[in-house]
Structure 1
């Protein structure tokens, strides 16, 4: 793989890591009257939507660089490692992944669409239908 492609892959992995941290920080966002209007603490699943859109895009761009599994899955692996690592062993020992449906939805919205895109990239590389 040429050097510009390697640098672009490093940028994609870095983007995935930064997005994972931002999604974790804003995971408990809700309509509680502090930052958003008061709607009895109704949760706002904004970070899950961001994960569902951005992580598959990063995997698709990495798959365009090279259809090899290690290259194509690099942003997804980085996103999962950062979400799990920072979410469970966060800064100062804070646990950012809470034991509720929002954390599970974050993993599902980030990992499942990305896995589908990764499967499509690998199937295309093997000569399957695009």
Structure 2
């Protein structure tokens, strides 16, 4: 890996951290009349959709930098650690990762597609001619 690739990997990991924090902050977003119109408190699971798009994208870009698994999985690991750490030990001791379906949906939508992309990166590196 060149120095440019290393800097890009650090930027990808920082993006994963920032995305994890933003997704946690807006996870309880619902139609309750505060930020969105009042529709009886209907939850809006927008952050799991954001995680399903952005986290696999970060993993795929990291997979192009190096054929090593550690490099390709680094943004996913940074995202998981951030969501778990900030979700449990949030700002001011608040628990942002509550025990409801939105937290499970966030983890599932962020980690599962990223694991599939990581598997594709691994398959491409192992099937490449040596």
TM-score range, shorter chain: over 0.9
Between the aligned partners of 1:99 and 1:107, the Cα distance in structure 2 is 12
SS of 2:127 mapped into structure 1? coil
Instruction: State the 4+ residue runs in structure 1 displaced beyond 2 angstroms.
Output: none
Between the aligned partners of 2:91 and 2:101, the Cα distance in structure 1 is 22
Q: CA deviation at 1:91?
A: 1.1
Q: How does 1:112-127 map to 2 (within 5 A)?
A: 112-127=112-127
Match of 2:38 in 1: 38
Q: How does 1:1-130 map to 2 (within 5 A)?
A: 1-127=1-127
Between the aligned partners of 2:40 and 2:97, the Cα distance in structure 1 is 22
CA-atom RMSD in angstroms = 0.7
Q: CA deviation at 1:25?
A: 0.2
Q: CA deviation at 1:119?
A: 0.3
Unaligned runs of 5+ in 2: none
Q: CA deviation at 1:67?
A: 1.6
Task: Provide TM-score, normalisation by structure 2.
Answer: 0.97
Between the aligned partners of 2:67 and 2:11, the Cα distance in structure 1 is 17
